[in-house]
Amino acid sequence: MEIEKIAKIAAILGIDISDFGYSEDYMLERYDESLSELGEVQIGSLSYDPANALKEVDPTAYRCGFVDWLDSERDIYVEFDGAYFDDERLEELIEEIKDRIDGLS
């Protein structure tokens, strides 16, 4: 089922789908973790975490990298209305919808 259809049904039932999705901040943390897995970067004689270094040195490149990373993760996550959903979160949302519908009878 498409996320747009799920969202419409959820809205009719008064369910806030953002409660089931991951926030952009959470996704930024995942991106930072993926950058940190590369190991520290050396600038002169000092070592830095790659995510923090990129954020400070070139925030635009950091943001572009985040967008590229999200694109590479689209087989895992789907974005809708500022929230990100993986299969597990979508299943939880669908279960909540089913429970609400069952409660109507």
> Given its phi and psi angles, is residue 52 left (phi above 0), alpha (psi -120 to 50 degrees) or beta?
alpha
Provide the whole-model pTM.
0.80
- Per residue in 58-85, pLDDT (tens digit) is 999 999 999 999 999 999 999 998 899 9
Domain ranges of the chain: 1-22+79-105, 24-76
Positions in the chain whose pLDDT score sits under 70:
1
Dihedral through CA 40, CA 43, CA 73, CA 99, nearest 10? 60
> What pLDDT, on a 0 to 100 scale, did the predictor assign at position 1?
58
> What pLDDT, on a 0 to 100 scale, did the predictor assign at position 27?
96
